[in-house]
Amino acid sequence: MTSFPTHSATVDPVLPFITPPYTNESLFLPRRSRHVPPEVWQIFPTDIPEHWHEFAKDKGYEIVRRVRDKNHIVLECQTCGGMTAHKVYTLRSTKPECATCQYDRTIETAKAARLIFLGYHPTNRHLGVFRAPCGHELIRQFEFVERCARGDACPRCEACHAAKEQEEATTRGWNLIGPDPQNDPSYRLYRHICGQEQRVARANMQTGRFCCEECGEGWSSAPSYIYAMRFVFPDGTQVVKLGFSRDPQSRLHYQLKRSAGAKSAGTNSSEIDGDLLRQVPMQSGHLALCVEKRLHAEIKRTYPGAALPVERFDTWLRVKSEIYVAELEPVILAMLRRLHGDARDLD
Ligand SMILES: [Zn+2]
Ligand SMILES: [Zn+2]
Ligand SMILES: [Zn+2]
């Protein structure tokens, strides 16, 4: 998931150089020596054996002085003029890397990726700390920054991007909670003001072409239905649900019943019997929402004890309220018949 912070920049970036006490020039250090404090890199006052100079020249360096102890020297890069402390052993056995050249390359690559290089990650050598154009700090793999510099990737700031996505959600009455639980990169998990949490494609959040599966708000210009459904739970409890949806069949089959073992071991959706008893078309989702609220209010007034407490059904159904005792089924069906007559009158 890309738009939620994976590496939040809370580390102190490490710079590749120090200023030793005896000089004001920068002494670059190889990665493994960067924890060694400046005062350790004192001049080691001993002669440099003649043949060491030959080694150095062959490898593109000049030996400036001995430092720290008998095993360390300062090499001046013949390409960039930078000074890097190395082990004598490194000079003898391989081609030492110029930490100045490497640092310059990293800065240039970052610049090409529109980033400012702030320093190396203190513990992970593959990561660097960068400042994005928005001002936020980003921790990224060097390899990724190289791809950005080539134009093959984009160093998007998670903080800014998450704020932008949150704003998109806020304007529609939703809260961005996190990445898609099903790992689809085009989806996110959101919470509606009614409390409903659901996956929504970000593109749909931007255009508003979706509905809250709980309260039905959203995409309110599309036609919708008021419906009554009967459920029989595995323990034999029969209940009736009154609600509205753009697609009651899909709501019944794919959204309401909990999937196998989701809440309680030994129960699954295949044991929950569900039937769509009746559906009445409404001109819009908004109208359906208003009508549905009116019906629930009417039931509450007339049959105050008919709504089941959530503990009685949330093992089996993915809803939080408005499930009624089976005895209310004929009452609800009569309401829908009446509503159907009203709906026809509107035509
Ligand atoms: Zn160099
Ligand atoms: Zn930012
Ligand atoms: Zn809602």
Q: Examine the pLDDT at 342 and tell me if it is beyond 80.
A: no
Ligand 3 geometric centre to CA of 246 (Å) = 14
Q: pLDDT of 93-104, one tens digit each?
A: 999 999 999 999
In this prediction, residue 259 carries a pLDDT of 62
8 band by pLDDT with thresholds 50, 70 and 90: low
Average pLDDT for 292-307: 93
- For the entire predicted model, the pTM comes to 0.55
Ligand 3 geometric centre to CA of 239 (Å): 22
Query: What's the mean per-residue pLDDT of the chain?
Result: 88
User: According to the model, what pLDDT value does residue 270 have?
Assistant: 55
**Cβ–Cβ under 8 Å, residues 176 and 165:** yes
For residue 30, the CA-to-ligand 1 centroid distance in Å is 12
Q: Which ligand is nearest to the CA of 78?
A: 1
Q: Does residue 76 have a pLDDT over 60?
A: yes
C-alpha 149 – ligand 1 centre gap (Å): 21
Q: How far is the CA of 345 from the centre of ligand 3 (A)?
A: 29
CA 162 – ligand 2 centroid, Å: 9
How do residues 226-279 score in pLDDT, each as one tens digit? 999 999 998 889 999 999 888 898 888 877 888 644 444 444 445 788 999 999
Confidence of residue 183 (pLDDT cuts 50, 70, 90): very high
Task: Compute, in angstroms, the gap from residue 328 CA to the centroid of ligand 3.
Answer: 24
What is residue 33's predicted lDDT score, i.e. its pLDDT?
A: 92
